[in-house]
Structure 1
Amino acid sequence: MALKQMPKVGDNVRFLGGDFHEDMSIGNVYVINEVDYEGDALFEDDAGETSYICEETLPLFELVRDVEEDSPSVTDLIANLARRVSELEACLVVEQAHRADLTRQNAEQAYEINELYKAVARL
């Protein structure tokens, strides 16, 4: 279950995947070691650098109650990936429909501009 509120210092969070940055591995658990002045939760990523969770990235993480017992199984990881793929496919369908609509609008505008040029040329 994705985070709904900012984790606290000492909380363990699991990266669920998504567009965050390359030094994070799906399924890895990270310990929150600080909360900065903006309320963002800071932790050390796989490269040893400080990364953060902000309001926009909350859905990319889940709270882990017990690190050893709550480690994801391969089945859980595959299920999470399948769910994310399904979400991305739904977004792609919407984007494709939007792109088709914009292409149609551009064609209509090009036709109207061409007609205006013809009308001006006749003057």
Structure 2
Amino acid sequence: MMPLAQPWQMIRHVSNIKLLFLMISLGLLPSALSYICYMGGISRGVELSRAGVISSVELVVSVAIAWLLMGESFSLIKFSGILLMLLSILIASRNAEALGEASGEAINKSSTGIDQT
């Protein structure tokens, strides 16, 4: 869709330079901030499986901020979607923990032949 969007055509419709700056900022700042936080977390030792799960919370937080600060409507469908996302995040994080523990046990057994847990 990006080749069809032609965002440079929007500039002629924006008469206020402040509005143009805000539009660009809203596109770049959230993207850059999420990238910096994701890479910063990984460089500090957060496991990739956990980083992926944590990044899923971004959508839930954005809906909450839109509701609290922007007055966005909050319907039963949105609440159900948020609930499903939180539930899937919980399930994914538990599965990641279980897989990590199981692989750690297998490594401990295979290196010495003795269960070291």
TM-score, normalization by structure 2: 0.38
Structure with greater contact order relative to length (CA < 8 Å, sep ≥ 6)? 1
TM-score, normalization by structure 1: 0.36
Greater per-residue helix proportion: 2
Greater per-residue strand proportion: 1
The structure having more radius of gyration, on CA atoms, is 1
